[in-house]
Structure 1
Amino acid sequence: MRVVGVVFNPNKSEALEVCDWLLASLQKKGIRVIVPEQYAAAIQRPDLAVNDAEFRISINAAISLGGDGTLLGLAHFLAGAEKPILGVNLGQLGFLTDVELNALSQGIDRLLTGQYKVEKRTMLEAIVVRHGEEIKKFIALNDVVIAKGAIARLIRLRTYVDDQFVTMYPADGLIVSTATGSTGYCLSAGGPLIHPTLPVTVIMPICPHTLNARALVISDHQQVKISVQAGHSETLLTTDGQRGINLQTKDLIIVRKAPFVTPLIKVSGRDYFEVLRTKMHSGGNADG
């Protein structure tokens, strides 16, 4: 591990303080640290600044300081580069991050000595087709969401899996989620908890105006097509809550497994179910 990239949430004062400590700690251990230009400006370290392309090419691993949103943004930034990410939780829940602040020093030592594993997390690709032409392509680690805006009207979404008609959802929206994203918006909408290593995709309606709409779990090799049958000017598509586009009636959205993954570094040794118990405050322990 020779070159480590660092990003952080510039809106969190704690992240700036932790970043200062982390940079000094890594450099003391002989590691070259680089930071994207826009982040280097926030901590007044022009000596560490590199452009986006150099950051993606040069790093052996990246460290994210913040919450899940910071890590998701980094996953988008590094999409296709196959560079592993270590998430340090400075947020609230932090399902995607692996290291808590009080264990950061130990976690860095484990990272630099190779005492970690890497989980390859599936990503989604969402393509927006309008009047028969592709107008936009997005990627997502957690989810692709089609939802109405502030106007309180239902939207109607005709949904297909591998070109086979599933149903027409009259709803506030629809979530197409990876297994990783099952602890995100999908969970809030009433979706199932799914182990993040399972090769599945979840289709979850948001507040459907029907009694029989439930989450649908399919193989991640299957393709989802969603046709906006009735929408309005505030119908939106967003990916991981990060990027998006306004949709129009008759737009077609194609969601499929992306051709690359997000590698997440695991140094804490905590298993998935321990994380669930901790983050969701469920009780019990292995000894009864």
Structure 2
Amino acid sequence: MAKDKLVLEEGSSIALVYRLETAQAVTMAKKVADYLKDHGFAVYTAPEQKVIPGTKAAKTKKQMDEIKLVIVLGGDGTYLRGVRLLEGRSVPLLGFNMGFLGFLTAHNAESVFDILEKTLAGKMVLRPRSMLFAKILRKGKVRGEYHALNDFVIERGSMSQLINTAIYSEKFLVSEVKADGFIVASPSGSTAYNLAAGGPILHPESPVFVVTPVAPHSLTSRPLIFPDDRELSFKLDGKTQKAHFIMDGQKVTELTADDEVILTRSCYDHWMVREANHNYFHLLREKLKFGDRN
């Protein structure tokens, strides 16, 4: 995996995304904005947030196109919101954990200014992560297209009945499964909902994605790992009237038996800012207690 240095020219535009509900994140966002301005950078508050004093609101496409770095102050949900706001732009994200788990926001709150100093000095590296792409067809016509960093989920939602779904790979039938739903996770998303549902942890450099059924009505239904150059498709059977389609934790639409969901690797990669000595397995042990026998 490439480890290109992150180099920011003085005067570059940097956007801040912060966890709205956390006073600590709001206070830190103000301090970070002041720090960046003192070092000669143009600081913006990313869309969908209250504007941080002394910064500009990034409201237009032109402003977003000029952003060279996004700094996230919050938890993984805030980080995923930052990814959505980029709408596919190849802009790196630097995350600081001010939420709960903080798996994507790998840097802790106490290290904010130390990490920022290293970032501005060009000592941090960029690590690409694959993303997922979903296209929803209804009777052959595209009615929605979505990119996700972590996962797409098809689930029954509040309906009492399980959903019956046929899974295809390259147009070949893989299986017909009755379950509460299905998770299609990228390597980055393998440690999120996929892991909670019994799916495997994927190394972030793995060129694969995993399909994990949620509470399947069969002992033979197990997670499946596919090369990410394959096309997968999902189709509800006629007895299942509706299902929810969820992108990185956000419901985006409802599905019916008239819909086909086609999933592939996204044409976009996501770029994470990390220290040069970042160790993924250390992160697993620290955040998820991986291998802890106590």
Q: Is the 8 A contact 1:59 1:83 kept in 2?
A: yes
Matches of 2:47 and 2:103 in 1, distance apart? 28
User: How far apart, CA to CA, are the structure 2 residues paired with 1:54 and 1:122?
Assistant: 26
- Is the Cα–Cα contact under 8 Å of residues 236 and 245 in structure 1 kept in the other structure? yes
CA shift at 1:61, angstroms? Answer: 0.9
Q: How far did 1:267 drift?
A: 2.6
In the alignment, which of 159, 174, 178 is matched to residue 182 of structure 2?
Answer: 174
Structure 1 residues 231 and 98, CA gap change in structure 2 (3 angstroms): same
Name the SS for the 2:113 alignment partner. helix
Query: What is the TM-score when the length of structure 2 is the normalising length?
Result: 0.91
Distance 1:258 1:155 in 2: 26
2:89 is paired with a residue whose SS is coil
Match of 1:135 in 2: 143
Change (3 A) 1:251 1:284: closer
1:154 pairs with one of 153, 156, 162: 162
Paired with 2:83 and 2:47, the residues of 1 have a C-alpha distance of 17
Residues 87-119 of structure 1 deviation map (CA, whole Å, 9 limit, x = unaligned): 111111111112110111111011101111111
Cα distance in 2 between the residues matched to 1:4 and 1:148: 40
* Closer, same or farther: CA 97–63 of 1 in aligned 2, 3 Å: same
Q: Find 1:18's aligned residue among 28, 52, 77.
A: 28
Which consecutive residues of structure 1, in runs of 5 or more, have no partner in the other structure? none
Gap regions ≥5 residues in structure 2:
1-7
Distance between the aligned counterparts of 2:43 and 2:20, measured in 1?
18
Other-structure match for 1:247: 255
Describe how 1:72-111 pairs up with structure 2 within 5 A. 72-111=80-119
Matched with 1:9 is 19
1:28 to 25, 35, 38: 38
Cross-structure match for 1:165: 173
Give the match's secondary structure for 1:104.
helix
Q: Deviations over 1:195-236 (max 9, x none)?
A: 111110101111000011111001011111001113234x10
Name the CA distance, whole Å, in 1 between partners of 2:220 and 2:133: 28
- Matched to 1:123, the amino acid is M
In 2, Cα distance between equivalents of 1:238 and 1:103: 33
1:80 positional shift: 2.4
CA offsets, 1:107-157, max 9 Å, x none? 101110111111111111111111221111111100010000112211011
Aligned equivalents of 1:137, 1:282: Cα separation in 2: 35
Contact 1:61-1:86 within 8 A present in 2 as well: yes
Q: How many residues align?
A: 282
Identity %: 30
Partner of 1:231: 240
